Chain A
Amino acid sequence: MIAEAGHFALVLALFVALVQAVVPMYGAHRGNALWMSMDKPAAVSQVLLVAFSFGCLTYSHVVSDFSVLNVVQNSHSLKPMLYKVAGVWGNHEGSLLLWVFILAAFGSAVALFGGNLPPSLRARVLGVQALIAVGFYLFLLLTSNPFERVFPAALDGRDLNPLLQDPGLAFHPPFLYLGYVGFSMAFSFAIAALIEGRVDAAWARWVRPWTLAAWSFLTIGIALGSWWAYYELGWGGWWFWDPVENASFMPWLAGTALLHSAIVVEKRDTMKAWTIFLAILAFSMSLLGTFLVRSGVLTSVHAFATDPERGVFILILLLIVIGGSLALFAMRGPALRSTGVFKPISREGGLLLNNLVMSTGCAVVLLGTLYPLFLDAIGGSKISVGPPFFNSVFIPLMVPMFMAMGFGPLLSWKRADLVQAALRLKTAFIAAALVVAAALAVTGGGPFMAILGLGLAGWLFASTLVELGARIKLFKEPLGASLGRLLRQPRASWGMTLAHLGMAITIAGMAGAGGWKVESVQVMKPGETVNVAGYDFTFTGARQAQGPNYSIIEGTFKVTKDGRDVVTLKAEKRNYPVRQMPTTEAAIYSMISGDLYAVIGDPDGNEGGFVTRIYFNPLIVWMWAGALIMVFGGVISISDRRYRIGAPARRAKKTAMAAHP
């Protein structure tokens, strides 16, 4: 009964979305205020219906209703409650339902908080949103019904993939989807702007908070995903350039570019068509990720169980959404007139460089991800493109951008003096040199790229602080006056400073973990000790234990340094009997200087020895700490005052119109 109610609510949501896609759009076209005003009740009732539907599926999972196929295939009566709930979106159908739920939620947020939008723009934005939603409702209802019943009901379920039974992964998909789907807002605004034929500073302001929100969620999602890969896969790695990881990284790159180009539209009234293109690109990349994960055109460890019928459906959806929007862009884009002009060396120039690098990076990742498919399709061999390609192409691309990131914020709009900026940044040059010298002294040398990375991190961190110092006129005015300026900084510029500082910290973490990771694999018997990066790991033995729906081998390592106790690590190897799958739970002790990381493997024959892998991952927590700081910057920036109050440009226009009725 509950499942049927959920199914029914979903069908209703489809019809509401159809109304929302047609009526307000047509109303905006004809200038009919009543028809336009349909957008708000439609968007709100849509989210209520999908929320109800999602609640029904969650309920079926929570009470382990094994007459629902989705529950049978992905749950088990013994599974802990957290994963019964997370299991709702740990599968194709449920995750798609979450996808449309979030889409509807964003739509209703525009309806409820978009009071400062002109009615015609709001009607069009929500109309485009509803069009996307219609596509996804049809996809769910026609190919992927999560509420399908099995008769007779199963005795118990097949359990969720044990790799997914993990807190990091339980919350990773919702954040990713909030990011992916969040970019649908920027997309809808872009399409609405193309239809209206107008992109101005006010438009850029309205889009920005939504883009920032999507970007922040996506950043959390990617960071959580890499953190999960780090401790759950047990290889000590944190990024594998897997197609599904790339699928989340491409919208991030496009979205980051969009965030920066929208600033130029807002402040300088130029780069309009480019910004519209990036808005389309960011969401297209999100959709592409959905296609890659669910269609089966590429193989990946993360891919959902796939089905060619679904693949065809999503491809048609892609053709309509991406193809349609790019066709609209091709028709209307040339008409978008920009007024601002600028020299290459200027704030705009810096942001443009950011955009070029980010979109080139996005193209590189796209090429690398799809290359196996291209080759396969023209009849070549089946190959996979791995980390060597991405590392050798992507990382060098980022180096000049991180250099420029130090300069950019110090350059003035329109035309700037590079020499003067460089002079102001001499402290940052010195800081970078000191970081490199310190790294060489501590490590005694390492890979060139890693040392360069640390230098760049130092450079970026210091130059961001120099820029903040310049903004508050530190040392130019009395300290009290500077402090006052510091407190009065708009939140958007705090956001920028924090995000750039976070980026610097993340780069340092990547460089450290990439360059100086120490790995040691061996068979250890109880009592044996290995020395890894100056730490003595003593294996004190293993024991058997039982978890709720798995059995455990737990190995204990006592870690000492120079005879002093550091920590006792307990690494687990779990075996999930229902799925016949083992998982590793690495034991990790994080320090600022690096992580101690121990994994226990299979017993080695008869002598009581175990295969153990021990790693020292220098600076790795910096990576996630930096990502958190970036997100914090994004959140601070969203709360900036100028996004909450209306945009002055548009208000001025309204009064002008009122004066000449």
Chain B
Amino acid sequence: MNRLIYMLPLAIFLVIAGYFAKGLTLNPRDMPSMLIDQEVPTFDLKPLKGFQRGFSSADLKGQVSLVNIWGSWCFACLAEHPMLMKIAKQKLIPIYSIDWNEKNREDGPKWLVKHGNPYTLIGDDPKSRAAIAFGVTGAPESFIVDKRGFIRYKHVGVIDDENWKSTIWPLVQELRKQ
């Protein structure tokens, strides 16, 4: 009996550890955006200065696409940019984008001229309307949208070779099969 009491802490700990192990597979943090597995919020953004077309939620129907949130003020977006250029050049997936929170209307277009434009369509979002609807926490952030126009994945931070190959690209291929 006495010995059993001494075993009790270990037993309790092992139960808790079991839950932890389960918890690691659950990832409540993958749901910071309540939008996962929901339809893309409706928006209709004006084109950037000097561009023909803007970007609206209707553009996303019928294909698997990547929506990238960026801004010319965002240092990390510049770090991400070569990767997006590479994806665009290989035509792996159409990249739509929201140019978020520019101070001057010229800043976004200038940045694209200087560094190159990997985007299929770009919407200008100086007042954060679409960004708030998407639940964006910072830039860069990217969303994978399926053929029905549902958000299936949210990526916070820079897309690089590693997370592209390990997570995003396999998911895109998976979604294309559906």
Instruction: Give chain A's interface residues, CB within 8 Å of chain B.
Output: 72, 150, 154-158, 273, 277, 280-281, 284, 291, 295-299, 303, 306, 308, 311-312, 315, 318-319, 322-323, 326-327, 329-330, 333-334, 370, 372-374, 376-377, 382, 577-581
Contact = CB atoms under 8 A, between A and B. Distances in A.
Nearest to B7: A330
Majority secondary structure, A binding face: helix
23 contacts: A157-B75, A295-B23, A297-B20, A299-B32, A315-B17, A315-B24, A318-B20, A322-B17, A327-B10, A330-B3, A330-B6, A330-B9, A334-B6, A370-B16, A370-B19, A373-B19, A373-B23, A373-B26, A376-B23, A377-B22, A377-B23, A578-B74, A578-B75
B24 A311 contact: yes
Contacts of B171: none
B6 A296 contact: no
A377 B19 contact: yes
A273 B20 contact: no
Contacts of A329: 6, 9-10
Interface in B74-109: 74-76, 78-79, 101
Contact of A308 (B27, B74, B78, B139): B27
Interface residues of B, number: 32
B29 A306 contact: yes
Contact of B76 (A158, A277, A280): A158
Given A297-B26, A330-B6, A578-B75, A323 B14 contact: yes
B28 interface: yes
Contacts of B25: 308
Contacts of B74: 578
Given A154-B79, A312-B24, A315-B21, A334 B2 contact: yes
A376 B32 CA distance: 16
A499 B18 CA distance: 38
Contacts, number: 97
Interface of B: 2-3, 6-7, 9-10, 13-14, 16-17, 19-29, 31-32, 73-76, 78-79, 101, 138-139
A274 to B, nearest CB: 11
A373 B31 CA distance: 14
Nearest to B15: A374
A323 B24 contact: no
Contacts of A72: 79
Contact of B19 (A273, A334, A374, A382): A374
A578 B78 CA distance: 13
Contacts of A311: 24
A284 B10 CA distance: 12
A315 B19 contact: no
Contacts of B24: 295-297, 308, 311-312, 315
Contacts of A322: 13, 17
A580 B28 CA distance: 24
Given A154-B78, A298-B23, 5 more contacts: A154-B75, A330-B7, A330-B10, A376-B23, A580-B138
